[in-house]
Amino acid sequence: MASWYGAPYHNRRGSNGEVYNMHAMTAAHRTLPLGSIVRVTNPKTGHSAVVRITDRGPFVEGRILDLSLAAAKALDVYLPGIAKVRLEVLQTPSPLETGGRWAVQIGSFADEKNASELVDHLQRRYRTAKVLRFASPVGDWWVRVRVLDDDRDRAQALARETETPEGSVFLVRLD
């Protein structure tokens, strides 16, 4: 499933450091290397588009891709808001299965206090991890855990064993 993101994120820095332009053919994905080029096809309409991965997301269970407004319109995802898609990786700047810098992202929290309490808990539990709390452009709160050496296996283990009554837990590639 793919969704799209627009105005609240427009003209803000994306994960790759570029300013997000909702009118460009881009997308967010949690684990593909930033800069990857993918073909996205809407099997219901047959429309496809080539987009570049510039950001991280979507942070919603069951979704694999967050499209820019332009890509969502090209793929007929704009009006329904979400749609089933097929994703084909055309090019990556680095290997998919090895390397990378990995973390766990947990969110979203409606209340900053709940996010802060989870940060405190995780800092006590994982003394070698760096735990951050930050606000999203739409006003909710996120927690990111950077494991020692940004190791994928460590991040996957932390994601599997982390539970929270609020928000969802996602493995995220940072590069």
Q: Where are the alpha helices (H) located in 36-173, listed in sequence order? A: 69-74, 112-125, 152-161
User: Residue 36 — pLDDT band, cuts 50, 70, 90?
Assistant: very high
Indicate which CATH number applies to the domain containing 53.
Answer: 2.40.40.10
**pLDDT value of residue 134:** 87
Task: Answer positive or negative: Cα dihedral of 86, 91, 93, 98.
Answer: positive
Q: How far apart are CA 106 and CA 146, in angstroms?
A: 12
Q: How far apart are CA 154 and CA 169, in angstroms?
A: 14
Please write the tens of the pLDDT for every residue from 90-146. 999 998 988 899 999 987 788 889 889 889 988 988 888 899 898 888 778 889 999
Q: Where are the alpha helices (H) located in the chain, listed in sequence order? A: 69-74, 112-125, 152-161
The number of residues making up the chain comes to: 175
Average pLDDT on 63-76 reads: 97
Domain finish residue from 59, 91, 123: 91
Q: Are 80 and 160 found together in one domain?
A: no
Q: Are 11 and 75 found together in one domain?
A: yes
38, 89 Cβ separation under 8 angstroms: yes
pTM of the predicted protein model: 0.89
Q: Are 81 and 57 found together in one domain?
A: yes
Burial 31-44 (b: 16+ CB within 10 A, else e): bbbbebbbebbbee
Structural domain of 114:
102-173
pLDDT above 70 covers a percentage of the chain that reads 100
Q: Are 17 and 83 found together in one domain?
A: yes
Q: Between these two residues, 52 and 97, which has the higher pLDDT value?
A: 52
Q: How far is CA 138 from CA 5, 10, 59, 88, 109, in A?
A: 11, 11, 13, 30, 11
Q: Provide the number of structural domains found in the chain.
A: 2
Q: How far apart are CA 68 and CA 21, in angstroms?
A: 8
Q: Are strands 26-28 and 65-67 parallel, antiparallel or unpaired?
A: antiparallel
Q: How far apart are CA 60 and CA 167, in angstroms?
A: 9
